[in-house]
Structure 1
Amino acid sequence: MRRHWLARAGSDELTLVFAGWGLGAAPFAGLTGAADVLVVDDYTTLDDPLPEVTGYARLRLLAYSFGVASAAHWLARADVRPARLVAVNGTLHPADPQRGIAPEMIAATADGLNADSFARFCRRAGLTGPAPTIDHRAAAAELCAIAARGAAPETPFDRVWIADADRIIPTAAQVVAWHDQAEAVRRIPGGHVPFRPGQSWQEWFA
């Protein structure tokens, strides 16, 4: 997994973010109010123990998009227990026609991935600014790995945020996917990238 430190001031609390596919740290760059923030992505493999987390007295984890299933897979094998675990616009079933994205759509995205198609994906997701620079071949392989890994173990989340107009992981599919944890679900306006510049991290961990 790749690491992106958004903030590193020596706090005793770490905000760990499992980002979505392809977007890296860009969706979170405008959030405020956390002294130490580590964003990880690239879920081709999930055997990285992330030793950076062990030096903190308290850990809170926000998982976004395909980072939701990836975080749950990672937590199942890691000796880590976040004090607060939050999901945003993702499910434990990334490649699933009813509870995620249809597997054939993921395969088509991987097969046709290039600069133009990735830019369209970023616009559809609602990312502002230019599309991040990615290695298209590696990103396609990552998509295939996520799909092949399958559903993550059932994992209780403290909060699940679902945007009303998600055009990447359909809102209706997310609602179905979180049926058994409906008490944790909160609906929010917006699309697949719901984070706004100036928002506090604490709003997402509420």
Structure 2
Amino acid sequence: MRARWIRQRGHPHLVMFYSGWATETAEIELLAGDSDLLILSDYRNETFDPAWIERHDRITLVAYSMGVAVAARHLGGLRPERAIAICGATDPRRTIGADIYDGTLAGLDRQSLARFARRAGLPQPQAPDLAALGDELRALRARPPAPVGAFDRIIAARKDRIFPADAMTAAWPGQPIDWVDTGHFPFAHWRNWQEIIG
């Protein structure tokens, strides 16, 4: 995994954000908050470095899209005070649809990635590494689904064209979902981290 510090000021509280696949994070980085902020991405491997969190007394984990499954596999060792899943599921291939997931991987090129970004409402990727993005999808496909039930808040989008609303309901059986009236990339809906963390 790749770890990138957005704020590292020695605040006792850390927001650790598991990003989505092919997601530009500039809009996410602008969300207001005093806490330290660490963004994780590139899930070709899921190796977690304990040094990332050793200086923080409190951790809030926020996972988005494909990052939800990765975060769920880490939750047992992290024990954050809050864990929030946004527009993602612990079995992303099943929730997206195996045909769509595999078709995205098989046809991945600059044009298809641009179409995916438009469909998701994501910022267009800048200078994407297509080989790395393909390897990431393959690696995620090869891993077992993560356990359901480890998140204490689940946020989903009614207009999501990547993780559809009906599939999200099925992906989180018996768990309350906070619905937002947006597409797959809901971060323009919020101004600060507190609105997400609750």
Q: What's the TM-score once normalised by structure 1's chain length?
A: 0.90
CA 1:56–1:89: 2 relative to 1, 3 Å? same
Does the 8 Å contact 1:13/1:56 carry over to 2? yes
Distance 1:189 1:50, change over 3 A: farther
> Which of 94, 105, 109 in structure 2 is aligned with 1:114?
109
Within-5 A mapping of 1:46-125 = 46-76=46-76, 79-96=77-94, 100-125=95-120
Q: Is the 8 A contact 1:127 1:193 kept in 2?
A: yes
1:189 aligns with 2:181: yes
How many residues align? The count is 198
1:1-206 to 2 correspondence within 5 Å?
Answer: 1-76=1-76, 79-96=77-94, 100-128=95-123, 130-182=124-176, 185-196=177-188, 199-206=191-198
Q: CA deviation at 1:8?
A: 1.9
Q: For 2:41 and 2:166, locate their aligned partners in 1 and report how far apart those are by CA, in whole Å.
A: 25
Deviations 1:34-87 (A, max 9, x none): 3311010111111233421111010000010011111011224xx311011000
Contact 1:72–1:153 under 8 Å retained in 2: yes
Q: Write the letter of the residue equivalent to 1:137.
A: A
User: Could you tell me whether the CA contact under 8 Å between 2:72 and 2:150 is conserved in 1?
Assistant: no
Q: Indicate conservation of the 8 Å contact 1:9/1:36, yes or no.
A: yes
How far is the alpha carbon of 1:103 from its aligned partner? 1.7
- For residues 162-200 of structure 1, what are the alpha-carbon distances to aligned partners after superposition, in whole Å with 9 as ceiling and x for unaligned? 111001111110011112222xx1111100000017611
Tell me the distance in 2 between the aligned counterparts of 1:155 and 1:71: 12
Q: SS at 1:31's partner residue?
A: coil
Residue aligned with 2:84, SS: strand
Indicate the SS of the match to 1:139. helix
Structure 1 Cα separation of the partners of residues 50 and 112 of structure 2:
31
List structure 1 runs of 4+ shifted beyond 6 angstroms.
Answer: none
In the alignment, the residues of structure 2 paired with residue 26 and residue 108 of structure 1 have an alpha-carbon distance, to the nearest angstrom, of: 28
Alignment partners' CA distance in 2, 1:198 and 1:146: 28
Distance 2:156 2:98 in 1: 21
Give per-residue Cα distances to partners, 1:75-113, cap 9 Å, x unaligned. Answer: 24xx311011000000111111xxx11122212111211
Contact 1:24/1:40, CA 8 A, preserved across alignment: no
Q: Aligned to 1:86, what secondary structure does the other structure show?
A: strand
- In 2, are the aligned partners of 1:16 and 1:38 still within 8 Å (CA)? yes
- RMSD in angstroms over aligned alpha carbons? 1.6
| Equivalent position amino acid for 1:110 in 2 | L
Gaps of 5+ in 1: none
CA offsets, 1:108-160, max 9 Å, x none? 111211111111111111124x4233210111111111112131023321110
* Structure 2 unaligned spans of 5+: none
Write the letter of the residue equivalent to 1:90. Answer: G
